[in-house]
Amino acid sequence: MAEMIRQMTVADYLAFDEASEIRNEYIDGELYPMSGGSGNHGLLIAYTIAAFINLLEDRDFLVYASEMRVQIDAEKYVYPDASMVQGEPRYAEDRQVTLLNPTVVMEVTSPSSDIRDHSTKLDLYGAVPSIEGYLILDQERVFAEWYTRADDGWHPRQFSDLADVIPLAPLGISLPLAQAYRKIVIED
């Protein structure tokens, strides 16, 4: 993730982000441009979203790609790599570009986003009552972390074998790790 470039109001951010050719996250007045991802980053997102779509086909869920902005609160907006919503989606505006009620969110880490995905975004997603699970996939190795919400905070589980299957209880499905990492070339 690139450095913060300037302070701005929420209204200025929303107008700027809409006119921008890239996605920009916004946290408490600071703008964070989202840099492009690597081949593995894009493939992991695409294959995992495809798996979610297939696995959720007969369930009451929608799957959104990374173009869907999520509002954390009145001063925080982020772009997960994928968002799943159970039932009717709620949006912050008529144009349906800012989602208010994701059930599960997913991030694919990059060297520049790894710390942010595991700290800042973990805290941000924890502040959204509708989010019951947070999946983090690593683009540089076969490794997934699945966080589920509990009364005492997030409960993490780790998966690092292509034979592993991640039980995504909030979605009512299990995700074979091999489906997310198919055709992904991991450099040693």
Do the strands 144-150 and 153-159 form a parallel or antiparallel pair, or are they unpaired?
antiparallel
> Looking at residues 29-33, what average pLDDT do you find?
87
Question: What was the pLDDT predicted at 32?
Answer: 85
> Looking at residues 107-115, what average pLDDT do you find?
84
The answer to whether 106 and 121 are in contact (CB under 8 A) is no
Reported as a single tens digit per residue, the pLDDT across 116-169 is: 888 899 999 999 999 999 999 999 999 999 999 998 899 999 999 999 999 999
Tell me how far apart the alpha carbons of residues 146 and 162 are, in angstroms, rounded to a whole number.
15
Reported as a single tens digit per residue, the pLDDT across 59-105 is: 999 999 999 999 999 999 999 999 999 999 999 987 899 999 999 99
Where are the domains positioned within the chain?
Answer: 37-180
Question: What was the pLDDT predicted at 4?
Answer: 46
Distances from the Cα of 83 to the Cα of 6, 7, 157, 158, angstroms:
27, 27, 19, 20
Range 37-180 has CATH code 3.90.1570.10: yes
